[in-house]
Amino acid sequence: MLRFGAVSYLNTKPLVETLEQRLTDWGTLRLDLPSRLAADLASGDLDVALIPSVEYFRNQSNYAIVSDAAIACRGPVWSVRLLSRVPMPEIRTLALDEGSRTSAAMAQVLLSEMHGIRPQTVPFPIGSDAAELDADAVLMIGDRAMHPPRGTYKEIWDLGDRWCRWTELPFVFAMWVARREVVENSDQLKRIDLALNASRDDGAQCFESIAIREAADQGLTNEDLHRYFAENLHFHLGPGERAGLSLFRKKAEAIGLVPPLPTASNPNA
């Protein structure tokens, strides 16, 4: 039995809609926090996991991307925002949502590239109030970004929109990854790939029903959540997404957020 893990966030729902049924008799699925999934994949407690791109970068020589199902955006993403009380070039302190390391790296890369700044970072704990933070700017993801707090902000960035405008490439938040030894057998790799892609395709046909099921708990209307899945998110890892992933890795490495890639490794493996 192969052990699969996926992040337990709203944006993952379309990717795992029918996955448990497709893994019957040969795999199990566990939903958990991104940091736990990354740790368990690295330790061997999981065989395949949907992990944030930054976590993939941190152990890339030992990992292989096993599906073209992914969580990405090709424009505004809505659920990842940077809110600043000062003009962006004047940010000195940045509070980072503890729920996402990839979005935290994305924010720092954009501020470095677009304004040449490296703010001091402080935590923005889950469950805390942005108004109580003594920071120039705050990174919010998920529900907190979709319902930003009222306050005096000089600038608000949708980070998906900023990345895509700046790079003219998509941004990849997470993808399905396995330890290389797990997929040395080509038949096993094909079986994994088919199951993950089929579940993604099933989910794409179920945006409306997923929205009806999940919207109330998120404080969203069915229409808003359906639009989020259909317009803000992109679930295919195509050539443009791989190019965006490679550029993100290069820029994150340049400012010390991920370790250097061994020369022999292929960033798109």
Mean pLDDT for the chain overall: 93
Q: How far apart are CA 139 and CA 109, in angstroms?
A: 13
| Mean of pLDDT values over 185-189 | 96
Taking alpha carbons only, the member of 103, 84, 88, 85 closest to residue 141 is 103
Q: What CATH architecture does domain 80-167 belong to?
A: 3-Layer(aba) Sandwich (3.40)
Predicted pLDDT at 100: 82
Identical fold at 2-71+171-254 and 80-167?
yes
Please give the angle made by the CA atoms of 172, 209 and 16, to the nearest 5 degrees: 40
Residues 234-244: what's their mean pLDDT? Answer: 98
Residue 152 confidence (pLDDT) above 90: no
Domain boundaries, the chain: 2-71+171-254, 80-167
Which of 37, 54, 50 shows the shortest CA–CA distance to 253? 54
> Max Cα separation, the chain?
56
Q: For residue 144, name the pLDDT band (cuts at 50, 70, 90).
A: confident
Return the pLDDT at 126. Answer: 81
Q: How far is the first Cα of the chain from the last one, in angstroms, to the nearest whole number?
A: 24
Q: Which parts of the chain fold into alpha helices (H)?
A: 13-16, 19-22, 34-43, 53-57, 101-115, 142-146, 159-167, 186-204, 207-218, 222-227, 239-254
Coil, helix or strand at residue 217: helix
Contact 86, 136 (CB under 8 A): yes
Q: pTM of the entire structure? A: 0.94
124 dihedral zone (left: phi>0; alpha: psi -120 to 50; beta): beta
Range 51-66 average pLDDT: 95
Please give the Cα distance from 2 to 46 (Å, whole number): 8
Beta strand pairing call for 48-52 and 171-179: antiparallel
CATH 3.40.190.10 matches 2-71+171-254: yes
